[in-house]
Amino acid sequence: MNESQQIWNSAKIKREVIEAEKRIRPYIRETPLEYSSYLSRLGNCDVFLKLENIQITGSFKLRGAMNKLLSLSREDREKGVVTASSGNHGTAFSYLLKKFSIKGKIYLPEYASKAKVEAIRLYCPDLEFYGSDCVETEVFARQTAEKNGKTYISAYNDPKIIGGQGTIGIELTKQLKKIDTVIVPVGGGGLIAGIAGYLKTEIKNIEIIGCQPENSAVMYESIKAGKIIKKELIPTISDGSAGGIEKGAITFDICKNLVDDFIILSEEEIKDAIILILERHYMLTEGAGALSIASFIKTIERFRNKNVVLIISGAKISLDKLKQVLKLNKIP
C-alpha cells in the first residue's frame, strides 16, 4: 500500500508534526500570534493573527520544505532534488538549496506571480516555466525527476511537508491557552492538513475552517464531489492558493475527514481584506494570506464569544497587484 492509499488520521499526522518540530526548530522562526483589537471588537470575540507572512522567505512554506529536505539521506541530496511551485514553496525551496548547498531545479507554471518569481530568483536557482496549470507543472516535474533519478518534492502532497506545516499547531498551543476556531487558507491542502491533524489531537471540539477563492475552490469542490476534480483556471488575487490538486493527493482525504467547514470568497472580499490588514495592522499580505481575514469578516456572527485564530499565510504581493487592490494608477 502506497502513501496515497493509507489512512492519514490525526494521530499519524501528529507523529509527523512532532518529528518535524525536532528537525526544523533550529532553522525556522516562531512567528508571533498578534491580538487584533479591531477584529475582536467587530466580532464580539477574541481574534488572533498567526503571522506566517513574516516567516523566513515570507510564508509558511519554509516549514514543510525544510522538513522534507532535512529528512532526505545524504545520497538523495547529492543526486539532486526537483520541485514544482506557483511561488511561495519555490521561494522556500530555493532558499534551502542555497543554505544547505543542495543541487535542485524548480518548475513554475506560466502564470506564476511576478513578485514570487523575483523572490525565487534572489537565490539563483535552476528555474524553468512549464504548463498553464499547477497540476500540469507538478506532473511534468515529477516525471522529470523520476526519469533523471532525482527526488521530487511536492509542495503539499507529502507527509513530511504536512508535518512541517503542522508545526504551526505546536506554536499555537504554546501561545494561546484557549482556541475555539482556526481559519486556514487552502490550496493543495498541506497547511490545513498539518494544523488540523495536530490540533484535533490536542484540543477537544476545536473547529478547523478552510477558506478558498471562488475562482479556484478546487479542494472545496472536490470534497463536495467526493473525488479530486479539475476546474478551469480563473485568475484570482489569491494566486498562492490557486490551481488544481494532484491525482491521489493524501491531503484530499485529510481535508475531507478533518476540516469542519469551508468559506468561499469573492475577489472583492479578498481585496477588501488585504486593505483591512494594511489599514488596521499596518501589514502587507498577499491574496492567499488575506483569505482568513476575509472569511472571518464574511461569517462574523458565528464567532461571537469565541477565541479565533486567523492564519496569515504569506506576504508576497506584486506592486502591480497592490495598485489594483488599492485602485491606484500610480503610487507616489
Write the DSSP string, 224-286: HHTS---------S-GGG-S---TT-HHHHHHHHH--EEEEE-HHHHHHHHHHHHHHH-----
Q: What pLDDT shows up at residue 328?
A: 64
Give a yes or no: residue 299 inside a domain: yes
Give a yes or no: residue 331 inside a domain: no
Separation between Cα atoms, residue 77 and residue 74, nearest integer Å = 5
Whether the CB-CB separation of 234 and 154 falls below 8 Å is answered with no
Give a yes or no: residue 332 inside a domain: no
Q: Looking at 112, 132, 157, which one is the last position of a domain?
A: 157
Range of the domain at 201: 3-58+160-326
Whether the CB-CB separation of 16 and 162 falls below 8 Å is answered with yes
Give a yes or no: residue 13 inside a domain: yes
Which CATH number is 117's domain given? 3.40.50.1100
Residues 87 and 225 both lie in one domain: no
Residues 70 and 115 both lie in one domain: yes
Residues 123 and 182 both lie in one domain: no
Q: What pLDDT shows up at residue 133?
A: 79
Q: Nearest Cα to 315, choosing from 57, 33, 93?
A: 57
Q: What pLDDT shows up at residue 264?
A: 98
Q: What pLDDT shows up at residue 55?
A: 97
Whole-prediction pTM value? 0.93
Give a yes or no: residue 229 inside a domain: yes
User: What nine digits make up the cell of 322?
Assistant: 497592490
Q: What pLDDT shows up at residue 115?
A: 78
Separation between Cα atoms, residue 20 and residue 138, nearest integer Å = 24
Q: What pLDDT shows up at residue 86?
A: 74
Sequence-separated (6 or more) residues with CB below 8 Å from residue 276: 290, 293, 297
Q: What pLDDT shows up at residue 248?
A: 92
Low-confidence ranges of the chain (pLDDT < 50): 1-6, 329-332
Q: What pLDDT shows up at residue 7?
A: 62
User: What nine digits make up the cell of 38?
Assistant: 479591531
Residues 249 and 119 both lie in one domain: no
Residues 66 and 45 both lie in one domain: no
Give a yes or no: residue 44 inside a domain: yes
Residues 131 and 195 both lie in one domain: no
Residues 53 and 71 both lie in one domain: no
Q: Looking at 111, 126, 157, which one is the last position of a domain?
A: 157
Residue in this structure with the C-alpha cell 481584506, named with its chain if needed: 273
Q: What pLDDT shows up at residue 66?
A: 97
Q: Looking at 125, 157, 189, which one is the last position of a domain?
A: 157
Whether the CB-CB separation of 191 and 212 falls below 8 Å is answered with no
